[in-house]
Amino acid sequence: MKLVKMEKILIIEDNAEEAACAQSELEKAGFKDVKTVTNLSDGLDAMPQYGAVLSDLFFPAGNTQTEQYSQRFLPFYEQFKQIRFPKIGKEDSVLGAIEVCAETFGMTPQEYVDNVLAKLNTPEIVLKKARDVLAGVEDSERYEKFLKIEEGIRDGTNLPLGIIACERAAELGMPAVIVTSTYHHSDAFEPVRDLIKVSYRDILVDEKKDWKGGIELLLR
């Protein structure tokens, strides 16, 4: 491995334990001048004083306003949602059956599925179909999780700001690598994967991010 012992490395990582792992791996690789920041605003401020960046993908914005980033990233998540979760027509016969049964029990369709079907020995495939039909989309359980991801993009609490940090690094002529635990096929990562123009590591090693692999990418 090539060592650049005088290089100053900036880590952007809001998890203290992960940041400590990153710093430890950098020290093992021969880097002595390392700084860790936990948010985008501090990262952008510190970046001109450093020579390379190791960045998480999702982290807080700090003092930076998030609206511009929400507006930038949200369309990618909305487009992904339309493709990944096709709608189920309300004319589906399963919906009609659920509504009849719910009326018989004096419940709403959702209450019937949650309080009757789910507590019987209903085959999982049938229960899944019922929930999908009520939600009006395929794979409704994953859809509900995606809506929470999308809400984090919309309200600025869970933005892929590592993309912004790496774009700024490129403007400054600095090498940058993203090291994340968010797998590239996950619904948080995949909508913006094509926006990531740097190398990334998205695997876990001993339940920690692969900082060693990220450093190796940085030194290529």
Instruction: Quote the domain boundaries for residue 185.
Output: 8-66+158-218
pLDDT tens digit string along 61-98? 999 999 999 999 999 999 999 999 988 766 567 778 88
In a domain? residue 25: yes
In a domain? residue 73: no
Same domain, 147 and 166: no
Same domain, 129 and 166: no
Same domain, 162 and 146: no
In a domain? residue 202: yes
pLDDT score of 16 more than 60: yes
In a domain? residue 110: yes
Average pLDDT, the chain: 91
pTM of this structure: 0.84
Considering its fold, how many domains does the chain have in total? 2
- Separation between Cα atoms, residue 102 and residue 41, nearest integer Å: 52
pLDDT of residue 35: 96
pLDDT of residue 90: 61
Among the listed ranges 97-101, 206-210, 213-217, which one has the minimum average pLDDT value?
Answer: 97-101
pLDDT tens digit string along 167-188? 999 999 999 999 999 999 999 9
The single-letter code of the amino acid at 55 is: S
**Segments in the chain forming alpha helices (H):** 16-28, 40-46, 67-84, 93-105, 109-115, 124-135, 140-154, 162-171, 211-218
Specify the 3-state DSSP secondary structure of 43: helix
Same domain, 163 and 148: no
pLDDT of residue 3: 44
In a domain? residue 72: no
Cα separations in angstroms, 84 against 75, 87, 140, 164: 14, 10, 11, 25
